[in-house]
Copies of this chain bind each other. A is one copy, B any other.
Amino acid sequence: MVHTGACIANLLGQGGSRKYHLTCNWLRYFKNDRDRRDLITCGSAAGVAAAFRAPVGGVLFALEEAASWWRSALLWRTFFTTAVVAVVLRGLIEFCRSGKCGLFGQGGLIMFDLSSTIATYSTPDLIAIIVLGIIGGIFGGLFNFLLDKILRVYSIINERGAPFKILLTITISIVTSMCSYGLPWLAACTPCPADAVEQCPTISRSGNYKNFQCPQGYYNDLASLFFNTNDDAIRNLFSNGTANEFRMSSLFIFFTAIYCLGLVTYGVAVPSGLFIPVILAGATYGRIVGTLLGSISDLDPGLFALLGAASFLGGTMRMTVSVCVILLELTNDLPMLPLVMLVLLISKTIADNFNKGVYDQIVVMKGFPYMEAHAEPYMRHLVAGDVVSGPLITFSGVEKVGNIVHALRITGHNGFPVVDEPPITETPELVGLVTRSHLLVLLNSKNFMKGQVKTSGSFVLRRFGAFDFAKPGSGKGLKIEDLDFTDEEMDMYVDLHPITNTSPYTVVETMSLAKAAILFRELGLRHLLVVPKTPDRPPIVGILTRHDFMPEHIHSLFPNLNPHKYHSASMAG
């Protein structure tokens, strides 16, 4: 029962992105990279919108964290998606209000409705909040640091095969269960408050004031936190006017347990998120601070819990606007917005001094060739020609089938420059870029010629429809291994002009690498052609791919390059 509420929302969220992946197969318009990328962005927006019932937060999350490019069309599409999610979700909650669907639908569209009338805060309160933000930032940075270490250990374990994966998952489950069941023994029993609105104590059902081995009329506050749904635990921590519901010692134990469990759980082979554990740990931390300051500050510990959650989110996720809006949509506590913004500002600034955001860290750790939006400072001291890696394979405008097949077989390159050479033109001349997938489609049609002559290209229009060159679903495309050619066919020629992209983006070899990287990143390129500075050389120097801009590649070419030295130098210039 513990995770049911969160799981249904999570299932909806994952359905949000998986659903679109499925529809890809029969919707032809999505058969290109850009639209597919947009759909994944929309899917992630829909996921957040559904999981947190925060449609606008979902849009912002997708744009701040998931999307590499910001286009107004993308904004419109994600907004469309989440608006539909919001209306559907609203309808489902309405439908489930009568309790037909388990815990789903509880709490309505706002998960942790606070709607507090904010107490006016004084200067000491503001100082307390700033200190809370600073400590929250430190804890958030520490969380990222530890998570990175743990994930690295896990990835070694997981690589050893499925049995190890399962063993790890089982171990973590057992540890979690032991913590959940064992730790409440440490807490003393608390007498039920006389004015409790809810049933107290509750036994064998979800709810607050868990009895757990206490005599009648008493409850175990730590068990109330552990044996509740995460949603209810967060709601309890956020709640106002319940300053004495939790003991200090219980909050400390719960905070330590949740912080550590959140760290060890994320990397195991179960679909678990970071948001809820971080909010839970942050809220507990905030409530501890609030309880400690109870004598000095007029603010309710529940408000401190909200600010603590914000500080942890700022410290780990490093998102600002989206966390703001998600917290606003979760709690409906608009008057707290300025304080939430202040805390986010402080905790992000503090944590940025230590390390990168948790999602950026994971991307780096997984080894994805993710390009930073800005060029690294040392790139200013290199030129595009420096990092081109050879050997370069080019095709003639009308190329022998055998050469193409050979090139496709021995390399994994996805793009090849096409150069017209005598006798087709007088001097070697760059025609453009041809991609592997288009080459495979052309080869598959086996429309070859005996001689090396340039055709009108009209046969391509006759033979192929617009969607024959469309991007296939992953794992569904043609592979060079699937194609067989006779020796006769291998000696024939094929005209590449009709399928060549004649407007590839190019840079001169003396172009600063930093500027080439910006061009590559901003336009979202796959290949960037490097052309020579002077005309006395072949018309193409090389081809830059994402891999060539990665720091590892550059450092392997220039082992003596010291990024820190260049960093300071460039800051001074």
Contact = CB atoms under 8 A, between A and B. Distances in A.
A59 interface: yes
Contact of A329 (B73, B82, B334, B466): B334
A390 interface: no
A371 interface: no
Contacts of A59: 321
A337 B329 contact: yes
- Please give me the 8 A-B residue pairs with the lowest Cβ-Cβ distance, nearest first: A535-B535, A70-B70, A86-B338, A83-B341, A503-B512, A79-B320, A90-B338, A332-B334
Given A56-B337, A86-B341, 4 more contacts: A87-B338, A109-B337, A383-B503, A427-B535
27 contacts: A55-B341, A56-B337, A60-B60, A63-B70, A70-B70, A72-B373, A79-B321, A79-B341, A86-B337, A87-B338, A89-B338, A94-B120, A109-B334, A109-B335, A325-B325, A329-B334, A329-B337, A332-B332, A427-B535, A429-B533, A430-B533, A502-B512, A503-B510, A503-B512, A505-B519, A522-B523, A535-B536
Contacts of A427: 534-536
A430 B535 CA distance: 11
A5 to B, nearest CB: 19
Nearest to A324: B56
Given A115-B115, A427-B534, A535-B535, A83 B329 contact: no
Interface string A62-97: 011000011111011001101100110110001000
Given A345-B83, A506-B507, A534 B429 contact: yes
Contacts of A55: 337-338, 341
A466 B573 contact: yes
A292 to B, nearest CB: 23
A401 interface: no
Contact of A341 (B82, B115, B515): B82
Q: How large is the interface on A (under 10, 10 to 19, 20 to 34, 35 or more residues)?
A: 35 or more
Contacts of A334: 109-110, 328-329, 332
B338 A109 contact: yes
A512 B500 CA distance: 13
A498 interface: no
Contact of A328 (B56, B345, B508): B56
Contacts of A63: 70
Contacts of A342: 83, 86-87
Interface string A526-562: 0000010111100000000000000000000000000
Nearest to A329: B334
Contact of A523 (B76, B86, B115, B518): B518
Interface string A104-135: 00001110000100001000000000000000
A325 B56 contact: yes
B523 A503 contact: no
Nearest to A539: B535
Q: How many copies does the complex hold?
A: 2
A63 to B, nearest CB: 8
A253 interface: no
A515 B505 contact: yes
Nearest to A515: B503
Interface string A318-351: 0011001100110010110110011011001000
A427 B533 CA distance: 11
Nearest to A88: B338
A188 interface: no
Contacts of A466: 573
A125 B524 CA distance: 44
Contacts of A83: 338, 341-342, 344-345
Interface string A379-392: 00001000000000
A109 B341 CA distance: 14
B321 A56 contact: yes
Contacts of A325: 56, 325
Contacts of A90: 338
Nearest to A120: B94
A150 interface: no
Contacts of A503: 383, 510-512, 515
A291 B338 CA distance: 36
A504 to B, nearest CB: 8
Given A83-B341, A83-B342, A64 B75 contact: yes
A372 to B, nearest CB: 10
Contacts of A109: 334-335, 337-338
A520 to B, nearest CB: 11
A427 B110 CA distance: 71
Nearest to A537: B535
Nearest to A523: B522
Nearest to A518: B523
Contacts of A511: 503
Nearest to A334: B332
A368 to B, nearest CB: 17
A70 B512 CA distance: 23
Contacts of A536: 427, 535
A110 to B, nearest CB: 6
A60 B321 contact: yes
A60 B71 CA distance: 14
